[in-house]
C-alpha cells in the first residue's frame, strides 16, 4: 500500500519558468494607438522616462524621441513603423492600490504604432499580438476618423483597452465632451477613473475617482517627476462623488461580485471596485478613462498604474486559437512556459546592421538560441542562431525568450508576415492578421541600368516587410507598378529605396485602384476548338454570373451534372475563372463581388485537356461579363476637415467641386469639423489646396471607406486615360 502515493508524478501547475526575470502575472504587453497627432509617441517617451528607461525626454518636434528612430520619422514628425520597447514599473505604496502589485516591479512591453491611415498595417499587426492597448484621444477633437479605425481593429482582435484623453493643456480642451464622443461614436462603455484637475493653462493634476484623492503635479520640478497625493478640494467633492457613484453603478451592472456588495449594502472599497473594473476591462465590457497631458508631464504615472491595475497579463487572456495544419481541427496554445513552443511572426524588418529581423510574439513554451523552429505553412524547419530583445532601434542579444514575450529572430528565411513558428512535434497554425488592399498605384523605373537590379531587390525586401505594399509588372507595358495605401505611403517607400538601398527611381503619376463589378445576372458561354488534323484542343464551358454583396469577393460553385465536364477539368475551369476576374471588360480592372456557377459544357475524348478548359472558362466569363451590365467602381475616401468657422464655406465649396458628399458638420469652440465622402481620384493635391484656401489653418485626415460606381460623365475620362497608358 505504501507505493500507492507514488503512482502519479506531481503536476507542475505553475506556468512560469524558474529562469524568467518577470513572472507572467507581472507582465503587460500593450500598444499605444490613436489618430494622427493625438500624442502617442510623446506619451511613449514620457512612460520610458518615468520608468527609468531613458534619462532625458525626447520631443517629436525636435526629432529626438526613442521610438521614432527612422530618419523619415524624425524629419516629418510622424510615426511610420511601429517600434517595440520594454520597461519596468513599480507601483507606489499608496492607499487603495492592488495589494498584489504594491511595491513590486512590473514588466511593461510597449509598441508605439503610427496614426496615419497609410500605415494602418502596422496598427493591425501590432494589435493582433498584444494583450491590451492605450487608446489616445485629443481632448479638443475627441474621436476622429482614424480613432474609429483603430477602435474597430481592437474590437476585431478583442483587445481590452484604457482610454487616455491627452492634450488637456490645449485651448478648447474638454474632457467630458471627449468621453461623450467615445460613447456616441465608438459605442464604448467608457467612464472616468482619473479626471483632469483643471484644463488648458490651469491643468494641475488629476482627481483619482477610485481612491478619492487628488494628485497634484509640481510645476517647478523638472519633467513632472514629483507629485503629491492630497485630499480632494472641497469645490471638486461633488464632481468626484458623482463620478464614483457612476463608476460603482456601471461596474455593478456588469460584475456579479461588485453587485453582491452593493445589494448587501456593504461599502464598496477601492480594492473591490478595482478588482471589478479589472475583470470587466479584460472582458472588453468596460473602458476606464484617464485624462492628462503627456506633453506637459501631467498624469502619465497614474496612467501606467492603471495599465498595471486594469489591463491583462498574458495569463488573463484566452489561449491563442489555431488549428492543426493537417486535420484543420481547432487547437489552443495556452500561455505556459512549460508548454510546447508556439509563436506568431507579426512583422519583418530589414535592419542595415543585422540583416532580416523577424518580430514574433511567443504564446506558449520557450525558445532558446540553437533551438529549431518549424513553419507549418512551408513545412520547413530552421535553426535559431540569434535572438534579440528590441529596444526601439537598439538591439540586445538574449539567450531565451518565454511565453508572453515579444522578441526578434535574426536571419530566418522563407517567412512572411503572419506565419506561425512552432514545435515540429506539435504543429499548430495560428490565425494571421488580415490587411486591407492597396488603393493607389504608380509606375516606377530606375534612373540608370545599374539601378535596375538594386531596385528589384529593394522592392522585394520592402514588400516582404509591408503587407499593404505590392509590386507587380504590367503585362501590357512591361512597367513595374507599386501599389500602397496612399500618396504618403508610396512617397516613404521611394524615400526608403533611396536612403536604405541607394536606388534612385523615377515615379509616374499616382494611379487609382479602380475595380469593376456586375449589376445583373447573366449566362456566358466559352468554347476553345482547334481541330485541324492531329491532336487538337477542345473545351466548352457555360457559366452563370450574378452580383454578390459588397465585400463578399468571388465565390465559385460547380453545378455541372451528368459529367458533361469531367471532374478533372473542374479545377482548370475554376483557375480560368479566377484569372478572368483580374481583367474586366469595362477598362481591364479587377472584377469584385460576384458569384459564379459552372453549370454546363461539353468535352472531347481525345482533344480535351486542362488548358483548353481553362481558356474556355476565361472566354465564358468574358462573355458573361459583357451581358451582366458591368460598371466601373472607384475608391471613396472618408475625409475629415477641421477649419476655423470663417473658412467653412470655402472648404465645403472645394469638397463639392471634388465630387464630395458632405455627411455632417460639427462646430465647437470656433472650429468646424466637416465630414465628407470624396472619390480618391479627386483628392490629389488636396493638402496644398486647403493650405491656400484656409491660410494654412485647416487640417484634414482621410481613410478608405468603400467603392462606388463611377458617374457616367467621369467614366469616359477614366477609360481614355487608361487607353493612353
482 has which bridge partners? 442, 471
Query: Is 660 in the same domain as 602?
Result: no
CB atoms within 10 A of CB 495: 16
Q: Per mean pLDDT, which of 94-108, 176-190, 337-351 is the most reliable?
A: 176-190
Work out how many domains the chain is built from and give that number. 5
In what helix (H) or strand (E) does residue 270 lie, and over which residues does it extend? Answer: helix 270-282
Tens digit of pLDDT for each residue in 178-191?
999 999 989 999 99
CA neighbours closer than 13 Å in the CB half-sphere of residue 570:
16
* 3-state SS class at 286: coil
Q: Per mean pLDDT, which of 34-38, 47-51, 337-341 is the most reliable?
A: 337-341
> Is 216 among the domain residues?
no
- Residue 152 belongs to domain with CATH number: 3.40.50.300
Query: Is 488 in the same domain as 584?
Result: no
Query: Is 265 in the same domain as 304?
Result: yes
The span from the CA of 21 to the CA of 106, in Å, is 10
> Is 682 among the domain residues?
yes
Backbone φ, ψ for residue 130 (5° rounding): -95, 155
* Domain encompassing residue 406: 320-430
Binning pLDDT at 50, 70 and 90, where does residue 579 land? very high
Q: Is the pLDDT of residue 1 over 50?
A: no
Signed CA dihedral, 45, 642, 180, 224: sign only: positive
CA neighbours closer than 13 Å in the CB half-sphere of residue 70:
21
In what helix (H) or strand (E) does residue 310 lie, and over which residues does it extend? Answer: helix 300-310
> Mind giving me the DSSP string for 219-238?
SSSGGG--EEEEPPPGGGHH
Domain C-terminal end among 574, 594, 628:
628
Maximum distance among all alpha carbons in the chain?
Answer: 102
> Is 435 among the domain residues?
no
Q: Which of 641, 634, 626 is nearest to 659 (CA)?
A: 634
CB atoms within 10 A of CB 628: 24
The span from the CA of 98 to the CA of 455, in Å, is 55
> Is 10 among the domain residues?
no
Residues 287, 281: contact at Cβ < 8 Å?
yes
Q: Which of 124, 112, 62 is nearest to 86 (CA)?
A: 112
CB atoms within 10 A of CB 362: 25
Binning pLDDT at 50, 70 and 90, where does residue 668 land? confident
Mean pLDDT for the stretch of residues 672-680: 91
Query: Is 363 in the same domain as 383?
Result: yes
Q: Which of 425, 422, 589, 598 is nearest to 525 (CA)?
A: 598
Residues 6+ away with beta carbon under 8 Å from 57: 45, 46, 49, 223, 297
Binning pLDDT at 50, 70 and 90, where does residue 491 land? confident
The span from the CA of 393 to the CA of 590, in Å, is 40
440 compared with 515, residue with greater pLDDT: 515
> Is 476 among the domain residues?
yes
> In this predicted structure, what is the pLDDT of residue 502?
87
Query: Is 168 in the same domain as 46?
Result: yes
CB atoms within 10 A of CB 340: 15
Residues 321, 311: contact at Cβ < 8 Å?
no
Backbone φ, ψ for residue 175 (5° rounding): -65, -50
Domain C-terminal end among 584, 602, 628:
628
Q: Is the pLDDT of residue 635 over 70?
A: yes
The span from the CA of 331 to the CA of 339, in Å, is 13
Tens digit of pLDDT for each residue in 409-454?
987 888 888 899 999 889 999 988 888 778 788 888 888 888 888 8
The span from the CA of 241 to the CA of 588, in Å, is 65
Domain C-terminal end among 396, 430, 464:
430
Environment class of 444 (CB within 10 Å of its CB; exposed 0-12, middle 13-18, buried 19+): buried
Beta strands in 603-656 (DSSP E): 630-644
> Is 209 among the domain residues?
no
In what helix (H) or strand (E) does residue 641 lie, and over which residues does it extend? Answer: strand 630-644
Mean pLDDT for the stretch of residues 656-666: 92
The span from the CA of 151 to the CA of 34, in Å, is 8
Query: Is 162 in the same domain as 178?
Result: yes
Beta strands in 278-386 (DSSP E): 287-291, 320-323, 330-333, 342-351, 355-364, 367-368, 372-375, 380-383
- Residue 421 belongs to domain with CATH number: 2.40.30.10
Q: Which of 227, 210, 220 is nearest to 290 (CA)?
A: 210
> In this predicted structure, what is the pLDDT of residue 496?
85
- Residue 613 belongs to domain with CATH number: 3.30.230.10
Query: Is 482 in the same domain as 410?
Result: no
- How many helical (H) and strand (E) elements, i.e. helices and strands, does the chain have? 16, 37
Classify strands 480-484 and 420-422 as parallel, antiparallel or unpaired. Answer: unpaired
> Is 11 among the domain residues?
no
Binning pLDDT at 50, 70 and 90, where does residue 535 land? confident
Query: Is 170 in the same domain as 138?
Result: yes
- Proportion of the chain above pLDDT 70, given as a percent: 89
Q: What is the CA radius of gyration of the chain?
A: 29
- Residue 455 belongs to domain with CATH number: 3.30.70.870
Residues 132, 30: contact at Cβ < 8 Å?
yes
Binning pLDDT at 50, 70 and 90, where does residue 101 land? low
> In this predicted structure, what is the pLDDT of residue 503?
87
> In this predicted structure, what is the pLDDT of residue 710?
93
The span from the CA of 216 to the CA of 219, in Å, is 9
Residues 6+ away with beta carbon under 8 Å from 599: 523, 542, 543, 544, 559, 560
Classify strands 380-383 and 440-446 as parallel, antiparallel or unpaired. Answer: unpaired
> Is 8 among the domain residues?
no
Q: Cell numbers at residue 408, please?
A: 526578434
412 compared with 519, residue with greater pLDDT: 519
Out of 64-73, 131-140, 624-633, least confident range:
64-73
Mean pLDDT for the stretch of residues 529-550: 85
Mean pLDDT for the stretch of residues 308-312: 93
Query: Is 277 in the same domain as 188?
Result: yes
Query: Is 583 in the same domain as 622?
Result: yes
Signed CA dihedral, 408, 412, 418, 421: sign only: negative
Q: Is the pLDDT of residue 615 over 50?
A: yes
Classify strands 190-197 and 287-291 as parallel, antiparallel or unpaired. Answer: parallel
Query: Is 285 in the same domain as 154?
Result: yes
* 3-state SS class at 423: coil
Query: Is 498 in the same domain as 528?
Result: no
Amino acid at each position: 500500500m505504501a507505493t500507492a502515493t507514488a503512482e502519479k508524478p506531481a503536476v507542475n501547475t505553475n506556468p512560469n519558468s524558474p529562469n524568467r526575470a518577470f513572472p507572467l502575472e507581472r507582465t503587460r504587453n500593450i500598444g499605444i494607438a490613436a489618430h494622427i497627432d493625438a500624442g502617442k509617441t510623446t506619451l511613449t517617451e514620457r512612460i520610458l522616462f518615468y520608468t527609468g528607461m531613458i534619462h532625458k525626454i525626447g520631443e517629436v518636434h525636435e526629432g529626438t524621441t526613442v521610438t521614432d528612430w527612422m530618419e523619415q520619422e524624425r524629419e516629418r514628425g510622424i510615426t511610420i513603423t511601429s517600434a517595440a520597447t520594454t520597461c519596468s514599473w513599480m507601483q507606489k505604496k499608496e492607499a487603495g492600490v492592488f495589494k498584489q502589485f504594491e511595491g513590486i516591479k512590473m514588466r511593461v512591453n510597449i509598441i508605439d504604432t503610427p496614426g496615419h491611415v497609410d500605415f494602418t498595417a502596422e496598427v493591425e499587426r501590432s494589435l493582433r499580438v498584444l494583450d491590451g492597448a492605450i487608446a489616445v484621444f485629443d481632448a479638443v477633437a475627441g474621436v476622429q476618423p482614424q480613432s474609429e479605425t483603430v477602435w474597430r481593429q481592437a474590437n476585431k482582435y478583442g483587445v481590452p483597452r484604457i482610454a487616455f484623453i491627452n492634450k488637456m493643456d490645449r485651448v478648447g480642451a474638454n474632457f467630458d465632451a471627449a468621453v461623450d464622443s467615445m460613447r456616441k461614436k465608438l459605442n464604448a462603455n467608457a467612464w472616468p477613473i482619473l479626471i483632469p484637475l483643471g484644463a488648458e493653462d490651469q491643468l494641475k493634476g488629476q482627481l483619482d475617482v477610485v481612491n478619492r484623492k487628488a494628485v497634484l503635479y509640481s510645476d517647478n520640478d523638472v519633467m513632472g517627476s514629483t507629485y503629491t497625493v492630497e485630499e480632494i478640494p472641497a469645490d471638486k467633492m461633488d464632481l468626484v462623488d458623482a463620478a464614483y457613484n457612476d463608476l460603482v453603478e456601471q461596474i455593478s451592472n456588469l460584475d456579479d461580485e461588485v453587485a453582491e456588495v452593493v445589494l448587501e449594502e456593504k461599502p464598496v472599497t477601492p480594492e473591490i471596485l478595482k478588482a471589478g473594473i479589472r475583470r470587466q476591462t479584460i472582458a472588453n465590457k468596460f473602458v476606464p478613462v484617464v485624462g492628462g497631458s503627456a506633453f506637459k508631464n501631467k498624469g502619465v504615472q497614474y496612467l501606467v498604474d492603471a495599465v498595471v491595475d486594469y489591463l491583462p497579463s498574458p495569463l488573463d487572456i484566452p489561449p491563442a486559437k489555431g488549428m492543426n495544419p493537417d486535420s484543420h481541427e481547432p487547437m489552443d496554445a495556452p500561455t505556459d512556459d512549460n508548454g510546447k513552443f508556439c509563436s506568431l511572426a507579426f512583422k519583418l524588418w530589414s535592419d542595415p546592421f543585422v540583416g532580416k529581423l523577424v518580430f514574433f510574439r511567443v504564446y506558449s513554451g520557450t525558445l532558446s538560441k540553437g533551438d529549431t523552429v518549424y513553419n507549418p505553412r512551408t513545412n520547413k524547419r530552421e535553426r535559431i542562431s540569434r535572438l534579440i530583445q528590441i529596444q526601439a532601434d537598439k538591439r540586445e542579444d538574449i539567450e531565451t525568450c518565454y511565453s508572453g514575450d515579444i522578441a526578434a529572430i535574426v536571419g530566418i528565411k522563407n517567412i512572411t508576415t503572419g506565419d506561425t513558428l512552432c514545435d515540429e512535434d506539435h504543429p499548430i497554425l495560428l490565425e494571421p492578421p488580415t490587411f486591407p488592399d492597396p488603393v493607389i498605384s504608380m509606375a516606377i523605373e530606375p534612373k540608370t541600368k545599374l539601378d535596375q537590379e538594386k531596385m528589384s531587390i529593394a522592392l522585394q525586401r520592402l514588400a516582404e516587410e509591408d503587407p499593404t505594399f505590392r509590386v507587380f509588372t504590367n503585362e501590357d507595358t512591361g512597367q513595374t507598378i507599386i501599389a500602397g495605401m496612399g500618396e504618403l505611403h508610396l512617397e516613404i517607400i521611394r524615400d526608403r529605396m533611396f536612403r536604405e538601398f541607394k536606388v534612385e527611381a523615377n515615379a509616374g503619376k499616382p494611379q487609382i485602384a479602380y475595380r469593376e463589378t456586375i449589376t445583373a445576372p447573366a449566362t456566358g458561354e466559352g468554347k476553345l476548338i482547334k481541330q485541324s488534323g492531329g491532336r487538337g484542343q477542345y473545351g466548352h464551358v457555360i457559366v452563370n454570373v450574378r452580383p454578390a454583396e459588397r465585400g463578399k469577393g468571388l465565390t465559385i460553385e460547380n453545378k455541372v451534372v451528368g459529367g458533361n465536364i469531367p471532374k478533372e477539368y473542374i479545377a482548370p475551369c475554376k483557375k480560368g475563372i479566377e484569372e478572368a476576374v483580374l481583367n474586366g471588360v469595362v477598362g481591364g480592372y479587377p472584377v469584385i463581388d460576384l458569384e459564379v456557377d459552372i453549370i454546363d459544357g461539353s468535352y472531347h475524348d481525345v482533344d480535351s485537356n486542362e488548358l483548353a478548359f481553362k481558356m474556355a472558362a476565361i472566354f465564358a466569363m468574358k462573355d458573361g461579363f459583357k451581358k451582366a451590365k458591368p460598371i466601373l467602381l472607384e475608391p471613396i475616401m472618408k475625409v475629415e476637415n477641421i477649419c476655423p468657422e470663417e473658412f467653412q464655406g470655402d472648404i465645403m465649396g472645394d469638397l463639392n467641386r471634388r465630387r464630395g458628399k458632405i455627411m455632417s458638420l460639427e462646430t465647437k469652440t470656433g472650429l468646424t469639423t466637416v465630414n465628407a465622402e470624396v472619390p480618391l481620384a479627386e483628392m490629389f493635391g488636396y493638402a496644398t489646396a486647403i493650405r491656400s484656401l484656409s491660410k494654412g489653418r485647416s487640417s484634414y485626415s482621410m481613410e478608405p471607406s468603400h467603392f462606388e460606381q463611377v458617374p457616367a460623365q467621369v467614366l469616359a475620362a477614366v477609360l481614355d486615360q487608361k487607353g493612353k497608358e
